[in-house]
Amino acid sequence: MARTRTPARGTGSLPLEEVLESKELKAMHGFDVHTLDDMLRFAPRRYTVPAALRSIHEVAEGEEMAAVVTVTGLTARSMRNRRGTLLIVDVTDGDSALELVFFLAKEHQVAWHRSHLRVGERYTVYGIAGRDSRTGTPQLTHPRYEEYEDTPEGRARAERPLPVYPLKKNVAQKTMRDATERGLEFADGLQRILPDAVLRRRGLLPLADAARALHRPLTVEDTLAGRAHLVFEEAFVLQAIFAQRRAQDERTPAPALRGDGPLRPALDARLPFTLTDGQLEVGAALEERLAREHPTSVLLQGDVGSGKTVIALRAMLRAVDSGHQAALLAPTEVLAEQHHRTITGLLGDLAAAGRLDGHADATSVRLLTGSQRTAERRRTLLDVASGEAGIVIGTHALLTESVEFASLGLVVIDEQHRFGVDHRRRLRSKGPGGMSPHVVVMTATPIPRTAALAVVGDLDVLTLRESPGRRAGVTSFVVHESLPRWEQRMWARAGEEVAAGRQVFVVCPRIDEDDAAPPDPEGSEPLPPPRGVTETAARLASRPELAGARVGVLHGRLSTEEKQQVMEDVVAGRIDVLVATTVIEVGVDVPNASTMIVLDAERFGVSQLHQLRGRVGRGEAPGIAFLDTRVEQGSVSSQHLQSVAEATDGFALAELDLHRRGAGDLVGELQSGLGRTLQHLDVIRDGEVIARAREDAFPLVAADPDLTDHPVLAAAIETRLADADVERS
Ligand code: ADP
Ligand code: MG
């Protein structure tokens, strides 16, 4: 688990050395917990609720029990078969007798129990009921016990939930509990990050009370109230960071990109398609931001194929039209090259400045990669520095290298999974005259709104919801083979499509069936062995529904030429049914394909299934996708497929995927270190909290940008940023 050292060392948080014994200290250091503030914010993993208090005679052997008892006597004697002492403590609940039995290796342990279990005093004892084999007397071996106070509070304390902390090797749960207990004595000295006004407004416990509720709760409600403080606190620190970054942007100059001609309109005029309403809207929202005199930071999200590239290109032309340059950064060289091809393709002679065939208003679009020859690279660098190159395309390395821009007005970052401080910090002075360029980050992994606030709360999120590429759309169904009629209907439908002159894709998880089975994706339900392309193709040949259909196969073991041949045959309509592995997942564009059948669909991930069904319904005919499975109807996998079938757009799916995989993955995939160091906050579950924390944090930072009046918050921010940096490297 990622551990955060909450409020900064050096701001007054008590070092644990001053609080704990060495054994406890070592246990806490094992979790990178060094101060009182760290320790009391280190939440239990869960709680155990003890058995209800009962009379001893009601308890059957083997049952978990808790009882209030009085000590009547202690006997210690050496053990016969091994070294050490057998300590028997006789107790009674007034009605029945009970023996507490301890096998103790060391003399000091005997002394410890003797001093803590005094004759005549009352205790609550907890354990599993046993029985002395000779006398039949009820026994508890090595029970937990504590002093009992005969008041309503005492009774509640005896039945309170007990914290269970994560453990590292050789550390006892008791050590963790003792350490925390000891720390609670100093709870009033904790560094209070949340202002009192916020606590009151949000109905949160003061920090010290929250710590006690979390670690020493009387009820389950206490544990929730305690945790609520920490969750809000974490959200608040995060939002304060975002608020500060916004405030910083407000103080930073950026070139206002307001030029309204001639390149951008010239591109619009020659686009081979009409921009969708969504593209126009997002484009306008983006241009409004680019026209500002302070750097804008936008997250442009939209499904694969939703047309983000065109929007980015229009924005980049806007920069060039305004007398500045734009850079487009891709995660890999291959993608950078692809962008370069696409963009020069769309621009045509508008990108051919300085050439005979160039348009009068043309600019120059340059690719800059590490694998270019030195001479070419040097020439490009010169053109970037002189301003000759209006648009520069490269990998993220463009930023780290000392590439000099004449006047960089806009940076577009494609598929950036770890956007955040680092890049923007680096960009800050890359603009003309020390100004900061505007930044647009594009992602095809849409993030639900509240999660976006937590993850990239300093970016404006613009979203493309439609996908112009998918014209006719796709309807999905789950087919359970356990219901033979459905399966027949599926193949019959495939046959009908073929008869109507359309094409069918059948996707299998494997090439051959005797291949070693891949591990079950869930690991929980046993899955039937995966089907292979080869065997499936053979089986289909004998299915009456597909009689006469021409069946082809495609998979990664074919040579490049064979693959090309198969795809040509498919495109030319010489193959009716193509049985394939997921090689067809990306890039296959066959407008005549109407039907996608995924066999053993439970073996595919959400985004894979979404990509696969996106292969059909691209032309005139509506697409139909069958998610075929042999898992039991109503099982977890089956329900999951059902929800994939029902979720039609990439956003619904992304959300589904997030819920299924949990926030951890989102955080891991998308994030700057900031999100990965979250301890208490779950960016999906705690959406409401995040929104409220934002409402509270932004005005506070606006009123006091340097947090002069909030030194503890300032320190917490610094610590979190420092931890995020550590985690990132
Ligand atoms: P993304 O980058 O969001 O994955 P692209 O910008 O690459 O999507 O667009 C996917 C495809 O759709 C491209 O071939 C692009 O030219 C095309 N396209 C973009 N906008 C439209 C539109 N409004 N109408 C039709 N096709 C479009
Ligand atoms: Mg793209």
Average confidence (pLDDT) over 457-475: 78
Asked if residue 387 lies in contact with residue 414, where contact means CB atoms within 8 angstroms, the answer is no
**Ligand found nearest the CA of 300:** 1
3-state helix, strand, coil in the chain (%, to 5): 45, 20, 40
Q: Which uninterrupted H or E stretch holds 77?
A: strand 64-78
Is any ligand 1 atom within 6 A of the Cβ of residue 283? Answer: no
Which pLDDT score is estimated for 676?
A: 57
Confidence of residue 431 (pLDDT cuts 50, 70, 90): confident
pLDDT above 90 coverage of the chain, percent = 57
Better-scored residue on pLDDT, 617 or 46: 46
Q: How far is the CA of 289 from the centre of ligand 2 (A)?
A: 22
668: its two tokens: 């891991």
Q: How far is the CA of 271 from the centre of ligand 1 (A)?
A: 11
243: its two tokens: 């608020």
Q: Which of 420-424, 471-475, 480-484, 610-614 has the highest mean pLDDT?
A: 480-484
566: its two tokens: 């198969």
Confidence of residue 729 (pLDDT cuts 50, 70, 90): very low
What single-letter DSSP state applies at residue 53?
B
- Cα-based angle 475, 476, 481 (whole degrees, multiple of 5): 145
Q: How many other C-beta atoms are found inside a 10 Å radius of the C-beta of residue 395?
A: 19
Q: How far is the CA of 468 from the centre of ligand 1 (A)?
A: 7
Average confidence (pLDDT) over 474-478: 92
Residue with tokens 């999906």: 684
- Cα-based angle 287, 290, 292 (whole degrees, multiple of 5): 120
Q: What are the DSSP calls for 226-295, one per residue?
A: HHHHHHHHHHHHHHHHHHHHHHHHHHS---------SHHHHHHHH-SSPPPHHHHHHHHHHHHHHTSSS-
pLDDT > 90? residue 202: yes
285: its two tokens: 């929202």
Residue with tokens 């050496």: 78
pLDDT above 70 coverage of the chain, percent = 89
Lowest-pLDDT range of 131-135, 547-551, 668-672:
668-672
Which pLDDT score is estimated for 423?
A: 63
Minimal CA–CA distance to 275: which of 267, 124, 562, 670? 267
Q: How many other C-beta atoms are found inside a 10 Å radius of the C-beta of residue 133?
A: 8
Asked if residue 57 lies in contact with residue 96, where contact means CB atoms within 8 angstroms, the answer is yes
- Ligand 1 site-directed mutation target among 267, 282, 306, most atoms within 8 Å of CB: 306
Residue-wise pLDDT tens digits, 269-322: 999 999 999 999 999 999 999 999 999 989 898 876 788 999 999 999 999 999
Q: Which amino acid is at 373?
A: R
Asked if residue 487 lies in contact with residue 546, where contact means CB atoms within 8 angstroms, the answer is no
Q: Which residue has the least CA distance to atom 9 on ligand 1?
A: 307
- Residues that place a CB less than 5 A from ion ligand 2: 309
Question: Bridge-partner residues for 577, per DSSP?
Answer: 504, 551
Which pLDDT score is estimated for 313?
A: 97
Residue with tokens 């008892």: 69
Q: Which residue has the least CA distance to atom 5 on ligand 1?
A: 307
Is any ligand 1 atom within 6 A of the Cβ of residue 469? Answer: yes
Lowest-pLDDT range of 272-286, 574-588, 654-668, 675-689:
654-668
Which pLDDT score is estimated for 133?
A: 87
- Phi first, then psi, for residue 441 (nearest 5°) are -105, 130
Q: How far is the CA of 372 from the centre of ligand 2 (A)?
A: 23
151: its two tokens: 């008041």
Lowest-pLDDT range of 417-431, 488-502, 693-707:
417-431
61: its two tokens: 């052997």
Distance of CA 266 to the CA centre of its chain: 41
670: its two tokens: 């998308």
Asked if residue 296 lies in contact with residue 459, where contact means CB atoms within 8 angstroms, the answer is no
Q: Which residue has the least CA distance to atom 20 on ligand 1?
A: 307
- Ligand 1 site-directed mutation target among 308, 310, 415, most atoms within 8 Å of CB: 310
Is any ligand 1 atom within 6 A of the Cβ of residue 335? Answer: no
3-state secondary structure 566-581: HHHHHHCCCCCEEEEC
Lowest-pLDDT range of 218-227, 228-237, 450-459, 706-715:
450-459
Exposed, middle or buried, 501 (CB in 10 Å: 0-12/13-18/19+)?
A: exposed
363: its two tokens: 């600019």
Which pLDDT score is estimated for 239?
A: 92
Asked if residue 409 lies in contact with residue 255, where contact means CB atoms within 8 angstroms, the answer is yes
210-234: string of b/e by CB count within 10 Å (b at 16+)? bbbbbbbbeeeebbebbbbbbbbbb
Residues 6+ apart with CB under 8 A from 679: 1, 2, 3, 4, 41, 43, 230, 234
Q: Which of 23-27, 427-431, 563-567, 719-723 has the highest mean pLDDT?
A: 23-27
pLDDT > 60? residue 600: yes
Is any ligand 1 atom within 6 A of the Cβ of residue 350? Answer: no
What single-letter DSSP state applies at residue 544?
G
Average confidence (pLDDT) over 137-149: 94
Minimal CA–CA distance to 625: which of 652, 655, 648? 648
C-alpha span between 165 and 175 (Å, rounded) = 10
C-alpha span between 506 and 615 (Å, rounded) = 11
Distance of CA 444 to the CA centre of its chain: 15
Q: pTM (2 decimals)?
A: 0.71
Which pLDDT score is estimated for 157?
A: 87
